[in-house]
Chain A
């Protein structure tokens, strides 16, 4: 019983991080139809910067968090400006250009992280140290905060995108950018807002995961990959999609560890890609996505 409970709580915690990363992809995609490969870069910088500010420079946690989010938002807006440099509402950036440009940004940020913070992995401080027991499982308080953050951010995003003018405009822009422009919507500003929000969510994911997983300069790609998997598995252009995709991915990975010996660990490496393959073959729109034309 304890083993099962352990993999469930670990899966939910890990899945929460994947879901947050996937939400970043979703927010950008919902307003601009761009696949932002640089999403992993925001998590990387967010994690490193928070450790530097809060743990090393001893800046108050709230201030450090605010500065990290600000830095991430700036990175997000800069990303948008770069990929849309020569785009226009009547001539949006091509998917290929956007992917290549954001990939280049991700690689550049990883290189910069190596130069600034070096090759050593570093551990973040947990939001709340310590742990408690639940049904035989050890539950670090950090697991709880990961899940709480996911719920709070998901709820906030849902309200924003469905109940505010800006949020609805962002969704409309994704459907038809030219029409939005002709109706007087500042589409460039909307795109910048969506990238900024996505970057802030990415930074939160990096900050939350660093106490458990540590952080090193190569993790930008890892963050990007799992976020993308959560996004594609759950369904594009929705809030619930990455939520479901991320949690399912986290759970599936950890449940395999119930297999005794080394086999479970070996299979764990295979599952994410296998899940994506199955999804692309049988349900390319994702678990909660809408089929094209419906």
Chain B
């Protein structure tokens, strides 16, 4: 007969096993209870203030979803990481989110430079990135399967504000100040192409994006012969603000249009009232929420978003906030419809039509169109008392200029925004 008595060593092993099992079971249970989504934004550097608003709105949306019971009974868990403004770090973090954290999709990255620097990673790890680059057309076609843009007001649309300037100010010649880099040059070329279609002559000067005294280039534009009727400023951060403020000093008392992502009040608050009143730019409806006409089809949903954001954070939401909200909404909508399957989520997002969120546009993505937003959905905004206000619909100006949807589509193909 074998003795069944347990010795001290065996007892200790049994206790260890029991403790291990006790620790393991809740973790496994909670992992199964939640669906993980990555939040990968650039929280340092000049674009940090965009990321702050994007993250807030995304977290607000996720919190609402979880309060309502989650998706199919499971809570959404956001894993928030900072790219630190470095593509190599963003790449490593993306892989980590995919391989270790097990996310089903990623909100971000938000900056075009980070997105371009790590564009191949989403496709490698097969996790969809709902990003916010304003120049998605620079993403290589082979990298687009798992990467879409949720930024509705991209640079090509921004440049189409020329049609508004043509309609309202009868411009014949536009002077452009842009950044002396590949992106700035590309935008300058786009402006010349669109200018040709509209019968507007475009001349461009460039200075490095880090330059802060832009008077030399602005004076060259002011001295151009024939004189320019309008000024187009391209550049993010202080470059654009300084260009606009120094324009008057340089002798340029003309309407101004700009693009570069600065559609947030804090970055234009330092513009003088005289300069503010001269700025007319393309934006999505979300940028002018409070002043959108009540008859606008998106007014109600934008006001609802604005109200909720204001209640939560005690400030009016900015355009990046609306973008962050839409990034989160895009992914959660996909999970609701196809479940937490990475490939299915990616396919759903690409095929989803008539998707509308806080920006006040309708996304209709398709293969070859990672933006999914057409220029005729944009509005024209101006600035008053440091805030963006509604000034008109871009579609009206495009129609009056004779730029048909087909012509615009052809231009977009030329610019690589739509794949052939």
A110 and B220 alpha carbons, distance in the complex (Å): 35
User: CB-CB contacts of B197-234 with A at 8 A, as 1s and 0s?
Assistant: 00000001111101111011101100100000000000
- Is the CB–CB distance between B219 and A3 below 8 Å? yes
Closest to A111 in B: B44
- Is the CB–CB distance between A222 and B210 below 8 Å? yes
- Is the CB–CB distance between B184 and A119 below 8 Å? no
A195 and B10 alpha carbons, distance in the complex (Å): 70
Interchain Cβ contacts under 8 Å between A and B, 10 examples: A119-B45, A119-B48, A121-B237, A121-B238, A123-B270, A136-B223, A138-B250, A222-B210, A266-B180, A266-B206
A177 and B204 alpha carbons, distance in the complex (Å): 56
A260 and B205 alpha carbons, distance in the complex (Å): 7
Q: Which residues of B contact A117 (CB under 8 A)?
A: none
Q: Which residues of B contact A14 (CB under 8 A)?
A: 213
- State which of A28-36, A64-72, A212-220, A284-292 sits at the interface with chain B: A212-220
**Shortest distance in angstroms between A123's beta carbon and chain B's nearest beta carbon?**
5
**Shortest distance in angstroms between A142's beta carbon and chain B's nearest beta carbon?**
10
- Is the CB–CB distance between A265 and B208 below 8 Å? yes
Tell me if A164 counts as interface (CB < 8 A to partner B).
Answer: no
Interchain CB contact (< 8 A) of A138 among B180, B181, B206, B249: B249
- Is the CB–CB distance between B219 and A265 below 8 Å? no
Q: Which residues of B contact A2 (CB under 8 A)?
A: 219, 223
Given contacts A140-B249, A262-B205, A265-B217, contact A3 B180 (CB under 8 A): no
Tell me if B267 counts as interface (CB < 8 A to partner A).
Answer: yes
Tell me if B328 counts as interface (CB < 8 A to partner A).
Answer: no
User: CB-CB contacts of A256-281 with B at 8 A, as 1s and 0s?
Assistant: 01001110111011000000000000
Given contacts A214-B238, A216-B46, A264-B206, contact A254 B216 (CB under 8 A): yes
Q: Which residues of A contact B211 (CB under 8 A)?
A: 265, 268
Tell me if B92 counts as interface (CB < 8 A to partner A).
Answer: no
Residues of chain A at interface, number, CB under 8 A: 36
Tell me if B49 counts as interface (CB < 8 A to partner A).
Answer: yes
Tell me if B404 counts as interface (CB < 8 A to partner A).
Answer: no
A228 and B219 alpha carbons, distance in the complex (Å): 30
Q: Which residues of A contact B206 (CB under 8 A)?
A: 261-262, 264-266
Interchain CB contact (< 8 A) of A262 among B45, B178, B210, B237: B178
Given contacts A120-B267, A212-B213, A262-B188, contact A6 B219 (CB under 8 A): yes
- Is the CB–CB distance between B217 and A213 below 8 Å? no
User: CB-CB contacts of A129-147 with B at 8 A, as 1s and 0s?
Assistant: 0010000111010000000
Tell me if B251 counts as interface (CB < 8 A to partner A).
Answer: yes
Tell me if A105 counts as interface (CB < 8 A to partner B).
Answer: no
Q: Main SS of chain B's interface residues?
A: mixed
Most interface-central of A114, A212, A254, A262 (chain B CB within 10 A): A262
Which residues of chain B have a CB within 8 Å of any CB of chain A? Answer: 44-46, 48-49, 178-181, 184-185, 188, 204-208, 210-213, 215-217, 219-220, 223, 237-238, 241-242, 249-251, 266-267, 270
Tell me if A240 counts as interface (CB < 8 A to partner B).
Answer: no
A136 and B250 alpha carbons, distance in the complex (Å): 11
A131 and B184 alpha carbons, distance in the complex (Å): 29
A261 and B220 alpha carbons, distance in the complex (Å): 10
Chain A residues 1 to 34 lying within 8 A of chain B, measured CB to CB, are 2-3, 6-7, 10, 13-14
A209 and B211 alpha carbons, distance in the complex (Å): 12
- Is the CB–CB distance between B207 and A257 below 8 Å? yes
A218 and B220 alpha carbons, distance in the complex (Å): 29
Closest to A222 in B: B210
- Is the CB–CB distance between A262 and B185 below 8 Å? yes
A222 and B249 alpha carbons, distance in the complex (Å): 25
**Shortest distance in angstroms between A114's beta carbon and chain B's nearest beta carbon?**
7
Given contacts A140-B249, A214-B242, A266-B206, contact A257 B46 (CB under 8 A): no
A3 and B270 alpha carbons, distance in the complex (Å): 28
- Is the CB–CB distance between B270 and A262 below 8 Å? no
- Is the CB–CB distance between B212 and A212 below 8 Å? yes
Closest to B85 in A: A218
- Is the CB–CB distance between A261 and B205 below 8 Å? yes
Q: Which residues of A contact B204 (CB under 8 A)?
A: 261-262
A140 and B185 alpha carbons, distance in the complex (Å): 29
- Is the CB–CB distance between B45 and A218 below 8 Å? yes
**Shortest distance in angstroms between A268's beta carbon and chain B's nearest beta carbon?**
6
Q: Which residues of A contact B188 (CB under 8 A)?
A: 262
- Is the CB–CB distance between B219 and A269 below 8 Å? no
- Is the CB–CB distance between B223 and A3 below 8 Å? yes
- Is the CB–CB distance between B207 and A268 below 8 Å? yes
Q: Which residues of A contact B49 (CB under 8 A)?
A: 118-120
Q: Which residues of B contact A123 (CB under 8 A)?
A: 270
A119 and B43 alpha carbons, distance in the complex (Å): 10
- Is the CB–CB distance between A10 and B184 below 8 Å? no
Q: Which residues of B contact A3 (CB under 8 A)?
A: 216, 219-220, 223
- Is the CB–CB distance between A265 and B213 below 8 Å? no
A120 and B241 alpha carbons, distance in the complex (Å): 12
Given contacts A119-B44, A264-B206, contact A13 B213 (CB under 8 A): yes
Closest to B210 in A: A222
A47 and B46 alpha carbons, distance in the complex (Å): 18
- Is the CB–CB distance between B184 and A7 below 8 Å? no
**Shortest distance in angstroms between A136's beta carbon and chain B's nearest beta carbon?**
8
A9 and B58 alpha carbons, distance in the complex (Å): 48
Q: Which residues of A contact B266 (CB under 8 A)?
A: 120
A77 and B184 alpha carbons, distance in the complex (Å): 43
- Is the CB–CB distance between A268 and B213 below 8 Å? no
Q: Which residues of A contact B242 (CB under 8 A)?
A: 213-214
Most interface-central of B49, B215, B241, B266 (chain A CB within 10 A): B215
**Shortest distance in angstroms between B404's beta carbon and chain A's nearest beta carbon?**
31
**Shortest distance in angstroms between B295's beta carbon and chain A's nearest beta carbon?**
36
Q: Which residues of A contact B250 (CB under 8 A)?
A: 138
**Shortest distance in angstroms between A10's beta carbon and chain B's nearest beta carbon?**
5
Closest to B177 in A: A265
Given contacts A120-B266, A120-B267, A265-B217, contact A214 B212 (CB under 8 A): yes
**Shortest distance in angstroms between B367's beta carbon and chain A's nearest beta carbon?**
34
